[in-house]
């Protein structure tokens, strides 16, 4: 990737302390899961391309529903999946991740730009200023795709966060070369037992140390 003064944070794989963790552990899942009203607002804002509408409907949702998770997530995680990548695996991986985390935190990569512009803005507006750090500043992003898709989201994040800290990025390799994924220890391809590999990649993306990448 081209070098510049801008820095992108990359979650480094793999940490043996989390490599054996199972994502279906509810205690672990709670560390990723964004509160329901915030998830709802992000999804609405992304769909209608309006952060303000997302905020209003999230507030209504919060008034009418009891949250299913108490406390704040330690490592809120959003995943973008290239459903056309990896042959037929893209759609399967997206479906599997939605079951493991939440349908509202796993998206097709085609909605990446609307999410960054409207969904993330909605999240920032809804953040509790009394909680330090707020959820939007703890957010990490996982990309299931190849070098092209990873490059696109890095460029988009660079523009969106030009004067702010960029959310750390983790990778599930779904491309052909996957050079960036290899460089940061995420591997060059998914193994035949991809369900387990995907499962283990999530806590690595959320909790492993972060390295800076020149863009």
Q: What is the pLDDT of residues 107-158, one digit of tens each?
A: 999 999 999 999 999 999 998 877 778 898 899 999 998 888 888 888 888 8
**Greatest Cα-to-Cα distance within the chain, rounded to the nearest angstrom:** 49
Whole-structure pTM value = 0.83
Q: To the nearest whole percent, how much of the chain has pLDDT over 90?
A: 36
Element (H, E) at 205: helix 194-207
Instruction: Please return the burial class of 174, using the count of CB atoms within 10 Å of its CB with bins 0-12, 13-18 and 19+.
Output: buried
């Amino acid at each position: 990737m081209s070098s510049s003064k801008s820095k992108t944070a990359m979650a480094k794989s793999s940490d043996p302390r989390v490599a054996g963790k199972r994502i279906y552990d509810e205690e672990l899942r709670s560390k990723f899961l964004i509160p329901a009203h915030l998830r709802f607002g992000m999804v609405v804002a992304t769909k209608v391309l309006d952060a303000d509408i997302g905020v209003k409907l999230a507030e209504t949702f919060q008034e009418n529903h009891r949250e299913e998770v108490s406390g704040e997530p330690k490592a809120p995680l959003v995943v973008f999946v290239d459903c056309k990548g990896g042959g037929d695996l893209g759609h399967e991986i997206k479906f599997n991740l939605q079951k493991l985390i939440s349908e509202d935190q796993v998206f097709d990569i085609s909605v990446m730009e609307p999410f960054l512009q409207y969904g993330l803005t909605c999240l920032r507006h809804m953040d509790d200023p009394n909680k330090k750090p707020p959820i939007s500043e703890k957010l990490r992003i996982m990309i299931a795709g190849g070098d092209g898709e990873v490059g696109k989201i890095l460029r988009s994040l660079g523009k969106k966060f030009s004067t702010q800290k960029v959310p750390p990025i983790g990778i599930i390799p779904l491309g052909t070369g996957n050079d960036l994924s290899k460089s940061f220890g995420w591997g060059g391809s998914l193994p035949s037992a991809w369900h387990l590999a995907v499962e283990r990649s999530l806590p690595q993306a959320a909790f492993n140390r972060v390295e800076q990448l020149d863009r």
